[in-house]
């Protein structure tokens, strides 16, 4: 189970980082600039997360991402 302190099982540290930024409301382009990688690389990380969790759309991705954020 995801908590604010631990990524869901199977996510790399970078995938978790990207997912947290997305949960905070950043676009893929903003995430890329923030951590110094290309937007294509951010897109790749998001695709990997979607694949690992069987996520088909942005709403589901956001729900997983919000599970990483403290309320």
Greater pLDDT, 70 or 45: 45
What distance in Å separates the CA atoms of residue 15 and residue 34, rounded to the nearest whole number? 14
pLDDT at 1 over 50: no
Residue 10's pLDDT is what? 85
Give the pTM.
0.78
Q: Domains along the chain? A: 13-66 (1.10.10.10)
Of 4-8, 14-18, 57-61, give the range with the top mean pLDDT: 14-18
SS3 letters across 37-70: CCHHHHHHHHHHHHHHHCCCCHHHHHHHHHCCCC
| pLDDT tens-digit map of 25-65 | 899 999 999 999 999 999 999 999 999 988 888 888 888 88
* Cβ-contact 10, 52 below 8 angstroms: yes
């Amino acid at each position: 189970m995801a908590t604010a302190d631990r990524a869901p099982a199977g996510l790399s540290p970078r995938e978790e980082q990207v997912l947290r930024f997305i949960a905070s409301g950043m676009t893929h382009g903003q995430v890329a600039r923030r951590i110094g990688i290309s937007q294509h690389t951010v897109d790749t990380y998001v695709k990997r997360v979607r694949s690992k969790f069987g996520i088909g759309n942005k709403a589901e991705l956001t729900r997983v991402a919000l599970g990483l954020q403290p309320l």
